[in-house]
Amino acid sequence: MRSLAWCCVALLAACGRLGFDAGDDADAPPVKPGSFTRVVAYADQTCALAGGRAYCWGRNADAQLGDGSRTDRHVPAEVALPSGKVDVIAPGETHGCAIMEGDLYCFGSGFAVQPAHVPLVLPVTAVAAGRAFTCAVTDFVNCWGSNDRGQLGDGTTNPHNVPQPIASSRMFQALSAGDDHACAVSFTSNDAKCWGHNDNGAIGIGSANADEPTPSVVPGITTLPQIAAFHTCTVDGGKVSCWGRNTDGELGDGGSSDASLPQPVPNLVDVTALAVGGSAADMDATCAVRGGEVLCWGAGKFGRLGNGRTSGSNLPLGVALPGRATGIALGYNHTCALLDDGDIWCWGRGDAGQLGDGRATDSFAPVRVVAP
CATH of domain 228-372: 2.130.10.30
% of the chain surpassing 70 pLDDT: 90
Q: Give residue 17's pLDDT band: very low, low, confident or very high (50, 70, 90).
A: very low
Q: Which residue has the higher pLDDT, 3 or 107?
A: 107
Compute the distance between CA of residue 274 and CA of residue 251 in angstroms, rounded to an integer: 13
- Mean of the pLDDT values across residues 114-127? 94
- Mean of the pLDDT values across residues 266-279? 96
Q: pLDDT (tens digit, 9 = 90+) per residue, 22-41?
A: 333 333 445 566 799 999 99
Report the pLDDT value the prediction gives residue 283, as an integer from 0 to 100: 87
Please classify residue 15 by burial: count the beta carbons closer than 10 Å to its beta carbon, then call 0-12 exposed, 13-18 middle and 19+ buried: exposed
Distances (CA, A) of 292 to 27, 232, 310, 334: 35, 22, 24, 19
- Mean of the pLDDT values across residues 349-359? 98
Report the pLDDT value the prediction gives residue 46, as an integer from 0 to 100: 98
Report the pLDDT value the prediction gives residue 338, as an integer from 0 to 100: 98
Per DSSP, 225 falls in state P
pTM of the model: 0.90
Q: Which residue has the higher pLDDT, 190 or 350?
A: 350
**pLDDT score of 21 more than 70:** no
Helix (H, G, I), strand (E, B) or coil at 92: coil
**pLDDT score of 1 more than 70:** no
Compute the distance between CA of residue 262 and CA of residue 233 in angstroms, rounded to an integer: 8
Q: pLDDT (tens digit, 9 = 90+) per residue, 50-94?
A: 999 999 999 999 999 999 999 999 999 999 999 999 999 999 999
**pLDDT score of 241 more than 80:** yes
Compute the distance between CA of residue 32 and CA of residue 47 in angstroms, rounded to an integer: 16
**pLDDT score of 181 more than 50:** yes
